[in-house]
Structures are given as structure tokens and as C-alpha cells.
Structure 1
């Protein structure tokens, strides 16, 4: 029988697999040592029963993996491992506001992945819609997910939320060429005249990324409002 890989070797293999993407499809014969490795491998392979068992034995539901600093809840969302997501979402003491190394929360990742059921579930559990800096509404607008944008606004997301460089959700939608999302945000009251730290408006973003229809539509709206000659 082959020797069981040492924990440090197993950790390196797990990190490499996560970095390569598509971790839910990991081969089942990758052996890992210790509860830490077992837990994050189970999260990344949608192994709900293993995750549940480890939590029942006292594993910290808010532990973070070394690649991005993701909690299990965030990693499950990144990798579309929804059985594990359901287990972790309902685990005692799960921190819905925990952040990855780059500041992402579970709600932000669910919005960016356009995972409407996960967004709804997180909101129903009490996840915060608004937060300083990048917020879930930025991510939903960047992805062009109108259903999620509308839901976040229904839950009182601040429509002109500013990122650290003062980029707003409508700027992100314009940048991505999501004309229906731009229209939705505009109809809901987004301020198209705002500028970020580089002096760019939503119109500037649309023009820079060659979304002429969006630039023209926003310009027409501003003229109608009397804010352009």
C-alpha cells in the first residue's frame, strides 16, 4: 500500500488544484492529511457529508484556506458547490460577513457568480447588503444580473455605492456593456453624473469600452434632464 501523503504535501496539492480552477471536479483519490485538509477538500468537491461530519466534531466553520483566505462558505460559492453551501449556511456560528483576503464576502461572490438562489438565501439569513467599498451591487452590476440587482435594491442596497476609487454600480454595468442593467439602475434613480477618482462617469466607461449604444442612451437621458446642452 502506498504511503499516505504528508499533510504539508497534501496542502500543496490542494492549493494547486484550487488555483487551477474547477475544483468541484477533483479526482476522489487525492489523499489529504488532517482535519484542515479534509475539510477544504470536501468543500471544494461538494462533499456535504464530510463537511457536516467535521463540523459536528468541532471544526471551525469560519476557518480560512491559504490560497485566497476564503472561508468554506465563500469557497463553496466560488466553486459552485451548493450542497456544501447549504450545510455551511445553516451551520451554527457561521460568519456571513467574513471576508476573503481581497475583501470579498459570500454575498459579493454569489452576486458576481449570478447565483440568485444563493443571494436570496444569504439575504434571508441576514447577510449585510451594504458595506464600505466594493459591495454586492457592484458585483451584480458588473455581471449584468438584473434579477440580482433588482433583489439587492429591494433589500435597500445603496444604488450609488462607491468603491474605494468611487466607482459606482452603474459605472460597472456601463463598463461591461450591460445595457439592460444600466437602464434598470437608471430607472431606479442611479446618478449618472457621478465621477470616480479618475474623473470618469458611466458615459466615459461606456465610451472607453466601446459600448456606443450605452453612451448614447445615457447622453440622451442627461440632455432630457437638462444636465447637458
Structure 2
């Protein structure tokens, strides 16, 4: 009897160890398949019961990573899967909509917004990220859905500042036309015109300075 119990206990430990190893392998496969853009493999894992909202050590969801990596076949699989957490935030407070906005992915942005993804949030917002990216249409889309025009990030930057220093010049001009305030200064003491000057966008810097003076 004791021998049987011992064997049963050993078998249980082996099964548990095997299960843990399988889960670890699945975890590694999940993010590897995302980075390699293997949409079919991701679909198979989901159909086998893998949790679509599994995050990596940085708290980044599969959808966020797929958008960051430009995984074209994986993104639609994750977007379509029931239960995908659209507003999952990583350790930096970034959401899939923010990454889609930064990449200028209008199709993904439209899908996320239609399904209720948050447009406004504390700290950095999707509009900050859209303004930093290359596509003014991403800025336009968020504004059309009620994005806060002069949202303030933790470092004091507004979307206009981000566009002026890092994004598309047309995005900065779009924000100005929509009434963005060019006067605020960030925690480093710089305004939008200063950031444009630092990026050697002297014409834009003049426009921003004129807009600030006209307020």
C-alpha cells in the first residue's frame, strides 16, 4: 500500500511538472509566434484554450506586441477573438490604441474605437501618441471621437508639443487649427515652439510662436 501511494505521488509530481513545462513552452511560443507574425499558429493556440490576454514580463499584451512589431496576420486574429482586453495597459500605461495611433494604423484604430477602446485617460493618451507618429489622419480620427485636445502628460507635454518636436508637421498644424494652445510649457520649461526649434523646424516654430502670442 505504501509503495502504491509512493508511486501515485511520484506520478502526480511528474504530471504537474509536465503541465508546468507545457505551459511555459506555450507562453514562449505565444510571443515568438507574434513576433514572427504567424497568425495561423496564434489562432491554433487560442482555439486550444490559450489565454488571449496573457502578458509578457513587461506587462505587454499580445495585441500590443503585435502592433508594435507590425505583425500583419496576428493583429486581426487578436482583434477578432472574443474577450481580448482592448484597454490592457503595460507597465508604462500604454494601450493597444496608443500603439496603433503611434504607428498610424487607421484600420486598427477604427476597429478598437468601434469596440469601445478608451480614447481619453490619465497620463499619456492615444492623442499624444498619434501626434508623435507620422499620420495626421490618426490625429484627426481621435479628435473626431472626442480626444482631449490639450491633454497633459506626466512630463507636461501636450499633443501639440509632441507633434511640434517629433511627429508630422501637418499634425501640429492640424492641432493648431483645431484650437490647441501653444502657450503651455512642459516640466523642462519648453513650449511647442521651443520643441519645433530644437527639431530644426523653424517655420513651424514661428507659426507656434505667433499662435501663442495671439492668445
- Which TM-score band (shorter chain)? 0.7 to 0.9
Contact 2:181 2:212 in 1 (8 A): no
User: Deviation string for 1:132-190 (max 9, x for gaps)?
Assistant: 11111111111142100000000111010111122100001111263211110011111
Looking at structure 1, the residues matched to 158 and 94 of structure 2 have their Cα atoms a distance apart, in angstroms, of 17
* Structure 1 residue ranges (4+ consecutive) displaced by more than 6 angstroms after TM superposition: none
Looking at structure 1, the residues matched to 185 and 212 of structure 2 have their Cα atoms a distance apart, in angstroms, of 14
Looking at structure 1, the residues matched to 142 and 116 of structure 2 have their Cα atoms a distance apart, in angstroms, of 13
Normalised to the residue count of structure 1, the TM-score between the two structures is 0.79
The correspondence for 2:145, drawn from 149, 155, 160, is 155
Contact 1:99 1:105 in 2 (8 A): yes
Looking at structure 1, the residues matched to 101 and 167 of structure 2 have their Cα atoms a distance apart, in angstroms, of 17
2:99 aligned with 1:109, yes or no? yes
Q: Which residue does 1:37 correspond to in 2?
A: 28
Q: Which residue does 1:191 correspond to in 2?
A: 181
The correspondence for 2:165, drawn from 175, 178, 181, is 175
Normalised to the residue count of structure 2, the TM-score between the two structures is 0.84
1:39-188 residue pairs with structure 2 within 5 A?
A: 39-66=30-57, 68-176=58-166, 178-188=168-178
Larger mean CA deviation between 194-203 and 184-193 belongs to: 194-203
Say if 1:73 and 1:177 are closer, same or farther in 2 by CA, change over 3 A: closer
Say if 1:121 and 1:163 are closer, same or farther in 2 by CA, change over 3 A: same
Contact 1:177 1:214 in 2 (8 A): no
Looking at structure 2, the residues matched to 172 and 112 of structure 1 have their Cα atoms a distance apart, in angstroms, of 11
SS of residue in 1 equivalent to 2:206: helix
Looking at structure 1, the residues matched to 161 and 86 of structure 2 have their Cα atoms a distance apart, in angstroms, of 27
Looking at structure 1, the residues matched to 90 and 168 of structure 2 have their Cα atoms a distance apart, in angstroms, of 27
Quote the RMSD (CA, aligned, Å).
2.1
User: Deviation string for 1:101-150 (max 9, x for gaps)?
Assistant: 22211011111112111111111121111111111111111114210000
State the structure with more CA Rg: 2
Q: Could you say which structure has the higher helix fraction? A: 2
Looking at structure 1, the residues matched to 43 and 103 of structure 2 have their Cα atoms a distance apart, in angstroms, of 24
Per the TM alignment, residue 92 of structure 1 is displaced from its structure 2 partner at its CA by 1.7
Instruction: List gaps (5 residues or longer) in structure 1.
Output: 1-32
Paired residues in the alignment total 195
Instruction: List gaps (5 residues or longer) in structure 2.
Output: 1-23
